């Protein structure tokens, strides 16, 4: 069938082509999906059965029908592979399909519908009731899961296993070989951090004598007279206190606050101030001397007369 002419300015066409490109560039081992060549509003998807359920190991092929108003209206889903959970060629009623348009959000897309359908496979009982839902015995579901791998889509002309091959199983040896370098690196880092003793190799390759890194010798500074010191807090890292010229540094537990002792000239002159406090005021002494001079002058003048 000839492909329909597409209006690339249509918002639905733009969105569908964008999602098709994203799914092609970011493939998953749990599903594969792509639009049909002759109608991009119809997608075919092959989905892997959820692990730990009756559908484990099964591959299920279904159709995704997108409306012309997509993404503002939800898609419809129709199962094609016999599975024992959903009816065939029937639109399935789940929360993100055309049966519940009020729950659909334009931010969702084809990937959302695929992952949502995978999550609905294991539901049982009342949660599994809905249009297009069936409930087969577990043994029958497991039998259908085994047969589903070779099921061929009439339109795609390929089996489910060809459309979604099994991912390569990672053996225990390959996993250990991959994880070993990281484990060794982490172990080496921990040992180097915990032990301060290191050994050097000689040019011949033999280990040399072990040596212990020397810790820096703390600088000893003379303690100033505490009576003439005034402690202040400086908002700077402790390593910068000495460089800033604030004097000897007394460290405390706070990581970025150091207590520095800074000499205060006003405090250093306190003893002199106390001595001056015991002396009589200079003005009173001068006044008394002047009075004595006046009295002596008066007496001399009186005798002369």
pLDDT per residue rounded down to tens, the chain (305 residues): 445 677 878 999 999 999 999 999 999 999 999 999 999 999 999 999 999 999 999 999 999 999 999 999 999 999 999 999 999 999 999 888 989 899 999 999 999 999 999 999 999 877 777 888 999 999 999 999 999 999 999 999 999 999 999 998 754 444 333 333 333 333 433 334 344 444 444 444 455 544 444 444 444 444 444 443 333 343 333 334 444 444 444 444 434 434 344 444 444 444 555 555 555 556 677 778 888 888 888 888 877 76
Do residues 81 and 96 lie in contact, with contact meaning Cβ atoms separated by under 8 Å?
Answer: no
Which sequence positions are flagged as catalytic? 93
- Bridge-based pairing of strands 258-263 and 229-234 is antiparallel
Task: Indicate where the chain has its CATH 3.10.110.10 domain(s).
Answer: 11-163
| Neighbour order of strands in the sheet with 229-234 | 229-234, 258-263, 249-250
- Cα angle at 290 between 285 and 294, to 5 degrees? 150
| Interatomic CA distance for residues 260 and 241, integer angstroms | 7
Q: Using an 8 Å Cβ cutoff, are 31 and 59 in contact?
A: no
What would the two tokens of residue 186 be? Answer: 């982490």
Residue 53, token pair as written in the block: 């359920």
Give all strands of the β-sheet with 42-48 in edge-to-edge order.
31-35, 42-48, 59-65, 76-79
- Radius of gyration from C-alpha coordinates of the chain: 45
Beta-strand ranges (E) seen in 221-284 are: 229-234, 249-250, 258-263
- CA pair distance 236, 256, nearest whole angstrom: 6
Question: What is the CATH code of the structural domain delimited by 11-163?
Answer: 3.10.110.10
pTM of the model: 0.56
Query: In this structure, are residues 63 and 98 in contact, taking their beta carbons and an 8 Å threshold?
Result: no
């Amino acid at each position: 069938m000839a492909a329909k002419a597409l209006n690339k300015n249509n918002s639905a066409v733009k969105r569908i082509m964008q999602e098709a490109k994203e799914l092609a560039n970011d493939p998953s081992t749990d599903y594969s999906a792509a639009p049909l060549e002759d109608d991009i509003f119809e997608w075919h998807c092959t989905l892997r059965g959820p692990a730990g359920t009756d559908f484990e190991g099964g591959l299920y092929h279904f159709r995704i029908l997108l409306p012309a108003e997509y993404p503002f209206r939800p898609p419809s889903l129709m199962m094609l592979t016999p599975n024992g959970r959903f009816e065939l060629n029937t639109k399935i009623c789940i929360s993100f399909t055309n049966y519940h348009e009020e729950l659909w959000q334009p931010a969702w897309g084809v990937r959302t519908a695929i992952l949502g359908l995978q999550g609905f496979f294991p539901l049982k009982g009342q949660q599994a009731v809905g249009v297009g839902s069936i409930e087969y015995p577990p043994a029958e579901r497991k039998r259908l899961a085994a047969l589903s791998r070779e099921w061929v889509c009439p339109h795609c002309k390929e089996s489910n296993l060809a459309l979604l091959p099994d991912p390569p199983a990672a053996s225990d040896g390959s996993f250990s070989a991959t994880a070993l370098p990281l484990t060794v690196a982490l172990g080496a880092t921990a040992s180097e951090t915990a032990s301060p003793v290191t050994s050097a190799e000689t040019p011949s390759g033999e280990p040399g004598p072990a040596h212990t890194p020397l810790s820096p010798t703390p600088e000893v500074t003379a303690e100033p007279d505490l009576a003439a010191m005034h402690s202040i807090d400086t908002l700077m890292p402790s390593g910068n206190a000495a460089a800033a010229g604030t004097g000897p540094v007394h460290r405390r537990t706070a990581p970025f606050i150091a207590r520095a002792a800074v000499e205060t000239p006003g405090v250093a002159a306190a003893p002199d101030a106390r001595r001056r406090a015991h002396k009589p005021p200079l003005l009173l002494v001068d006044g008394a001397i002047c009075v004595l001079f006046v009295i002596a002058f008066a007496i001399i003048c009186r005798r002369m007369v």
